[in-house]
Amino acid sequence: KKRIGILTSGGDCPGLNAVIRAVVKCASHKGWEVYGIPYGTDGFIDITNGDRQPEDLKLYEHGYDIPGLLQGLDVLQFLSGSVLGSLSKGNTGDPEIAEKIIQGYNRLGLDALIGVGGDGSLEILYQLAQKGQWKLIGVPKTIDNDVPFTERSVGFDTAVDTVTEALYDLTFTAASHERVMVVEVMGRDAGHLALHAGIAGGADVILIPELTPIVNKEVVHNICHKIARLHQEKRKFALVVVAEGVKHEDRRQSRAIGDYVAKQIKAYSKHLCDRDAIEFCGMQEVDTRVTVLGHLQRSGTPSSFDRLLATSFGIKAVQLIDGEQYNRLVVWEGGKVESKPLEQAIALISQAHQQQRCPSPVDSNGFMVQSARA
Ligand code: F6P
């Protein structure tokens, strides 16, 4: 019989509750105890400070009651967010805080911890685990899809759907007003979300940091020529997707990249019209609008794929603990749930953070890179 902990850390995303549900169900069937640590590592600090009592953190298989005819309905996997709460930035660089976190862990007497996190939080958890000699299992989650070794992180699929739907909805207002809609998509330093949703949503131009790290004059020129070609084919609107990780040339401006791209397209198209450039004959100065999708991308109802992935990841995490295989990262590879040494994943994450670049290639099989180049 084991006593395990689970926490969610870093930016939330759809599917976190499905991981928690799977872990609780699977561990309960084995007769284990599960402690849900609130607000990431902050929950351990609360235990150390006596602000929370260990017994209050216990999770039960049927802990979420719904009244009326829906009584007994197990809704947890349908809900976005995290019932445990999450922590964006923990101050674990401070040795006193790290000590309190480790004390809290020890006070709970955990045999192992399941940390559901993105690249940043997994790195922090790993360092704490080394210091406190915890037995850690990492479960990758992030709409950015940039955790090494896993082709999919929990939350990515739903976010792709959310952005794809937004692009579809924007198409009609773009067409009605003959506008160029610039859509800024999350992803931090990575372009996976912008690329996948851009292709699925029929974007005419997709800018991702892996292929277009900086928007300079040449990039704006190419975008305007693409718009002009569409115009010649009688298509008088366009969708431009830009990942938030793309930078603009003028670093003195703190303007968000979507806004910058929209203004540049407008200004450059006017310049081409004024010059009566051949490719722009008959075309007016382009009217642009920008949409920043923001945190809507993090909160959609988990897709069926994310629910399945999250459930399989949660079960795998418990199985690894059962088999006493610790310090592993659960991954999705070639259509299978596998695990990799956490140490190797963290080494790649740290390297990428030092070099300020996205840790994984755009897609493991290259399909998406080729599509993007095309
Ligand atoms: O890492 C997930 C993510 O949503 C990124 O795509 C985005 O840049 C960032 O988190 C936003 O963070 P916050 O919620 O702190 O604004």
Residues in the chain, how many?
Answer: 374
| Distance (Å) from CA 197 to ligand 1 centroid | 17
In the three-class reduction of DSSP (H, G, I as helix; E, B as strand; rest coil), residue 106 is classed as: helix
Angle between helices 304-322 and 16-29 (to 10 degrees): 40
Ligand 1 atom showing the smallest separation from residue 120 Cα: 1
CA–CA dist 316, 312 (Å, integer):
6
Q: Closest Cα to atom 11, ligand 1: which residue?
A: 11
Question: Which one of 42, 119, 144, 363 is the catalytic residue?
Answer: 144
* Two tokens, residue 329: 């990262």
Displacement of CA 66 from its chain's centroid (Å): 30
Question: Is the separation of the CB atoms in 77 and 23 below 8 Å?
Answer: no
Widest Cα–Cα separation across the chain = 78
Ligand 1 atom showing the smallest separation from residue 244 Cα: 8
CA–CA dist 171, 168 (Å, integer):
5
* Two tokens, residue 19: 């991981």
Burial class (CB in 10 A: 0-12, 13-18, 19+), 329: buried
Sequence letter at residue 66:
I
Top mutation candidate among 142, 186, 247 for ligand 1, by most atoms within 8 Å of CB: 186
Report the run of H or E that residue 185 belongs to, with start and end. Answer: strand 179-185
Per-residue pLDDT, 175? 97
| Distance (Å) from CA 114 to ligand 1 centroid | 22
Q: Is the pTM of this model over 0.80?
A: yes
Sign of CA dihedral 189, 190, 193, 195: positive
300 backbone dihedrals φ, ψ, rounded to 5°: -65, 160
Ligand 1 binding site (Cβ under 6 Å of any ligand atom): 11, 88, 118, 142-144, 186-188, 244, 298
Backbone angle region of 32, left / alpha / beta, with phi > 0 → left and psi within -120 to 50 → alpha:
beta
Question: Is the separation of the CB atoms in 327 and 129 below 8 Å?
Answer: yes
Sequence letter at residue 306:
D
| Residuewise pLDDT in 10s, the chain (374 residues) | 999 999 999 999 999 999 999 999 999 999 999 999 999 999 999 999 999 999 999 998 876 667 788 888 889 999 999 999 998 766 667 899 999 999 999 999 999 999 999 999 999 999 999 999 999 999 999 999 999 999 999 999 999 999 999 999 999 999 999 999 999 999 999 999 999 999 999 999 999 999 999 999 999 999 999 999 999 899 999 999 999 999 998 766 566 999 999 999 999 998 887 776 656 655 678 999 999 999 999 999 999 999 999 999 999 999 999 999 999 999 999 999 999 999 999 999 999 888 766 555 445 444 454 445 44
Per-residue pLDDT, 277? 64
Q: Beta-carbon neighbour count of residue 136 at 10 Å?
A: 23
In the three-class reduction of DSSP (H, G, I as helix; E, B as strand; rest coil), residue 367 is classed as: helix
Residue 315 CB partners (closer than 8 Å, separation 6+): 22, 26
ipTM of the prediction: 0.99
Strand 33-36 relative to strand 58-59: parallel, antiparallel, unpaired?
A: antiparallel
CA–CA dist 125, 140 (Å, integer):
12
The 112-117 sheet, strands edge to edge: 58-59, 33-36, 3-8, 112-117, 136-140, 328-333, 336-341
| Distance (Å) from CA 281 to ligand 1 centroid | 42
322 is known as an active-site residue: no
Token match 């690894």: residue?
A: 320
Per-residue pLDDT, 205? 98
Per-residue pLDDT, 370? 47
DSSP state of 351: H
C-alpha distances (whole Å) from 62 to each of 71, 238, 310 are 11, 49, 18
Question: Is the separation of the CB atoms in 141 and 8 below 8 Å?
Answer: yes
CA–CA dist 208, 144 (Å, integer):
12
Q: Beta-carbon neighbour count of residue 111 at 10 Å?
A: 16
Per-residue pLDDT, 366? 44
